[in-house]
């Protein structure tokens, strides 16, 4: 009797445990960043309940920070610009949703719930896994974990904003970025993802001072989509040795 199924089962279980560990680590790091948002939002003129509602309903850090920052700089007169900027930054979640569609099992309520938890971190953790179960676990554990932790830390930051002072002094503004880079780094194993990452970063950096908030992110994402769609600098005849397995979620849906 072949031992392959037992090996496959053990391998799948190990991948699932690794996905949960990664998800919990990212959730913890990202949730700490919510303290920074809570303090910043209150300092920008929002009430504690308004700050908490933003995290409960909007639940996308980039959009929330853009909204609070613009309101803080321009007051209620800048509400239109704040909403537009937050919406532009939130557009990326639509692309994430299309990418994650093969990972989320069918069912209206399951997909409706998944829409709330489809963010940068849950997508990154899921797509970093190599088995279907691990990808599913990575998505749900990361999304739900961050949602709970982010809202609790937002409330804490809003209540303690005056006591904390400048949240950046504690380095909380770097926590989420560090966690995301830790997930991204192992995936930079081929020429195409390296070039895409560098090009997107350079474009976003150049355009940030001259465009309204949100636009540099969208334009950088378009560059990544175009390069992936046309497979520039990528393998033409199947996966290269040592590349990702054929069932990785990126190979389903959008490239």
Segment (H or E) for 5: helix 4-43
Please tell me the predicted confidence (pLDDT) of residue 174. 57
CA 149, 161, 211: angle at the middle one, nearest 5? 80
pLDDT in tens, 10-21: 567 788 888 899
In angstroms, the CA 181 to CA 165 distance is 27
Higher-confidence position of 158 and 44: 158
Work out the average pLDDT over 133-155.
94
Q: Which of 228, 15, 229, 43 is nearest to 131 (CA)?
A: 15
Which pLDDT band, with edges at 50, 70 and 90, does 186 fall under? low
More confident site: 44 or 47: 47
Name every residue whose Cβ is closer than 8 Å to that of residue 115 and which is 6 or more positions away in sequence: 97
Tell me how far apart the alpha carbons of residues 95 and 178 are, in angstroms, rounded to a whole number.
22
Segment (H or E) for 228: helix 215-230
User: At residue 240, what are phi and psi to the nearest 5 degrees?
Assistant: -80, 160
Q: Is the pLDDT of residue 9 over 70?
A: no
Give alpha helix (H) positions in 91-190. Answer: 92-100, 108-117, 120-127, 132-164, 175-184
Q: Could you tell me what percent of the chain has a pLDDT over 70?
A: 69
Which 8-state DSSP code applies to residue 240? P
Q: Write down the pTM of the prediction.
A: 0.66
Does 143 have pLDDT greater than 90?
yes
| CA distances to 16, 111, 127 from 223, in Å | 32, 28, 20
Q: What mean pLDDT value characterizes the chain?
A: 76
- pLDDT on residue 246: 44
Residue listed under structure tokens 């991204």: 184
* Contacts made by residues 215-218, CB under 8 angstroms, sequence distance 24+: 215/88, 217/62, 217/88, 217/89, 217/92, 218/88, 218/91, 218/92
pLDDT at 164: 64
Please state the domain extents for the chain: 4-176
Cβ atoms of residues 203 and 231 within 8 Å: no
């Amino acid at each position: 009797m072949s031992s392959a199924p037992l090996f496959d089962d053990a391998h799948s279980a190990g991948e699932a445990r690794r996905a949960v560990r990664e998800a919990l680590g990212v959730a913890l790091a990202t949730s700490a960043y919510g303290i920074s948002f809570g303090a910043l939002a209150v300092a920008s003129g929002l009430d504690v309940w308004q700050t908490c509602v933003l995290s409960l309903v909007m639940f996308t850090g980039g959009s929330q920070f853009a909204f609070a920052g613009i309101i803080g700089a321009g007051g209620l007169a800048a509400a239109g610009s704040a909403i537009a900027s937050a919406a532009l930054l939130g557009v990326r979640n639509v692309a994430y949703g299309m990418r994650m569609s093969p990972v989320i099992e069918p069912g209206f309520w399951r997909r409706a719930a998944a829409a709330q938890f489809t963010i940068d971190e849950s997508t990154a953790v899921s797509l970093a896994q190599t088995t279907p179960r691990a990808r599913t676990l990575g998505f749900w554990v990361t999304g739900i974990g961050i949602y709970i932790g982010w809202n609790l830390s937002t409330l804490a930051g809003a209540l303690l904003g005056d006591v904390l002072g400048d949240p950046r002094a504690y380095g909380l503004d770097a926590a989420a970025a560090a966690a995301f880079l830790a997930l991204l780094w192992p995936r930079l194993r081929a020429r195409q993802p390296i070039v895409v990452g560098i090009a997107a970063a350079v474009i976003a950096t150049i355009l940030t001072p001259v465009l309204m908030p949100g636009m540099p992110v969208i334009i950088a994402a378009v560059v990544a989509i175009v390069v992936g769609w046309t497979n520039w600098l990528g393998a033409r005849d199947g996966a290269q040795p040592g590349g990702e397995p054929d069932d990785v979620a990126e190979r389903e849906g959008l490239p």
